[in-house]
Structure 1
């Protein structure tokens, strides 16, 4: 395969995983409950407006029948190629413990020796929390996540704007939020079906984050800082049953970001840079990734 295809395959993976993530982390927290944190700091706003993961997957639970809409423009640069996309995403609260997310990159542009653009792969994600607990000092939550991407993008374009086959995601998350701090950890994998003679390698994710409240006013806004670490191991692709030596490898990114939310709106902006990358064979190395999120909540 060409080096163009190899980096673009990784770019598509980052688009699906990074651009589909919601930023919300908590189940319903009643302000009157004695065994739950006070409405200050990270709890100064309702659960849907509280800070959470930025580029890490999952933790997208909101209240029952609540809806959120957001856009997440992003730009990724490698040494020889770059791509940008502007996904739109919709989250619906099936219950206080379950949510459904739908995301579509509506404007994707991939540039190397050639240029292509168009709609990317649609992504659908379900999430459920089998465990949550709170005290007067903090709130804990465990979630399980399952996702599916449909091949709405084009695999035949050069570079392609989609995998050309369905992909499946499975993962889990755990987080703890206190008045001042938030930390979380997550792990998961993405498996992609075979497309003709091409079988893209499985992706394994491991992620963590630590954040701190900067300033908040109860009932008005939350200003919050976060640092995330995103790791991914990529198996080699196979063509006609033979492993491609110039695919797969390991990548570790660090992503600082800032979050600001009000009763209705939320905004987050961050920058990812590699702290370790060991890509097999000849692949264009990752330089940086800029990502932003702007969203609105409907009750």
Structure 2
């Protein structure tokens, strides 16, 4: 049935962007590693369609040199971040066929040699408006707000530059596009910018901009099965809706330098580029996307550890 075409644009603005040793907020993200993997070319949900989703993401951080880290800890009393684990819960609802609203909330786990920390990230609310549709080509506009629900730095490593909650209200805007050929090939992408205002103690945790382009191919789709009931003319139609999609693309992420206690941290901010590959399996109204992100661009400001691989798994239910 048409209402079970699940839109699996990744939860925009939903996961933490605390790669390497720079500061950024859980929830400060705007697009991520597994977006646009349902291959349907749609940028908004159908009217009154409800989608619930849960994404789990693991991010590794490559420590360049133990000697460098020991010197940095001694000088700055910072705690080197080794890995990040994020669980993001989200909901989306189609107000009309052209307007979709969404909200998502991450919970973040941070791991270091000195101990672990965890906490609630910032809540994201966002609206998407499909502004143009013709010949399987779509353009949509987005607007949203990051709400300061996340926790302030503290606990086991108060002096680390990793931030879970920003303490500020931050607006964001975005542009999305999609193009579908036949019924099994799609190209989709987005560009988004979040303007960061001063948060906890007047600190500035950096504007963020992301870019995402994904090419997907639907390998297999079985939409329905016909069973003979009593004779050659009567059939019972059974919906099965198995779909298997593979996808790949590029994801870019820029973060501005941060400012804490009135001073700019020269060892913060970056541009990262990732190669994304993944697959998505759908069964009726359920979907299970898997994305692996490999860093191919590491343009860091100052001395920072490199971002490592990212692995993202999702469970999505459409109503």
Would the TM-score normalized by the shorter structure come out above 0.5? Answer: yes
User: What's the offset of the Cα at 1:84?
Assistant: 0.6
Q: 1:163 aligned to 2:160?
A: no
Once the two structures are overlaid, the 10-residue window that deviates more, 212-221 or 85-94, is 212-221
2:303 to 276, 282, 285: 282
Give the distance between the partners of 1:199 and 1:232, measured in 2 at CA.
18
1:64 aligns with 2:67: no
**Quick one: distance in 2 between partners of 1:52 and 1:200?**
36
5+ residue gaps, structure 1, are 25-49, 54-58
Distance 1:162 1:19 in 2: 19
Aligned counterpart, 2:95 = 94
Q: Does 2:270 correspond to 1:249? A: yes
Q: Is the 8 A contact 1:110 1:161 kept in 2?
A: no
Give TM-score scaled by structure 2 length. 0.74
1-side partners of 2:253 and 2:25: how far apart? 13
**Is the contact between residue 19 and residue 87 of structure 1 (CA under 8 Å) also seen in structure 2?**
no
In 1, Cα distance between equivalents of 2:198 and 2:129? 29
Asked whether 1:194 is paired with 2:198, we answer: yes
CA offsets 1:14-67 (integer angstroms, 9 cap, x no match): 7x435798757xxxxxxxxxxxxxxxxxxxxxxxxx4369xxxxx651111110
Q: Contact conserved, 1:20 with 1:89, CA < 8 A, in 2?
A: no
* Higher gyration radius (CA): 2
Question: Tell me, what secondary structure is at the counterpart of 1:213?
Answer: strand
Residue in 1 that maps onto 2:30: 17
Partner of 2:141: 144
Alignment of 1:72-151 (within 5 A): 72-80=55-63, 81-105=82-106, 107-112=107-112, 113-134=114-135, 139-151=136-148
Which segments of 5 or more consecutive residues in structure 2 lack a partner in the other structure?
A: 1-17, 64-81, 225-240
Q: Distance in 1 between matches of 2:308 and 2:20?
A: 16
Paired residue for 1:205, among 188, 191, 210? 210
Q: In the alignment, which of 21, 34, 43 is matched to residue 7 of structure 1? A: 21
Equivalence map 1:176-187=2 (5 Å): 176-178=179-181, 179-187=183-191
SS in 2 for 1:229: strand
- Which of the numbers 39, 57, 70 marks the counterpart of 1:51? 39
Q: Per the alignment, do residues 52 and 288 of structure 1 end up closer, same or farther by CA in structure 2, a change over 3 Å counting? A: farther
RMSD over equivalenced CA pairs, Å:
2.5
Q: Aligned equivalents of 1:86 and 1:133: distance in 2?
A: 36
- Measured against aligned partners, the alpha-carbon deviations of 1:78-134 in whole angstroms (never above 9, x if no partner) come to 0242111211111110100010111111x4211123421122111111100110113
2:175 matched to which residue of 1? Answer: 172
Task: Indicate conservation of the 8 Å contact 2:139/2:176, yes or no.
Answer: yes
1:173-195 Cα deviation digits (max 9, x unpaired): 11101223111232121111102
| Alpha-carbon contact 2:249-2:276 (below 8 Å) kept | yes
Q: How many residues align?
A: 259
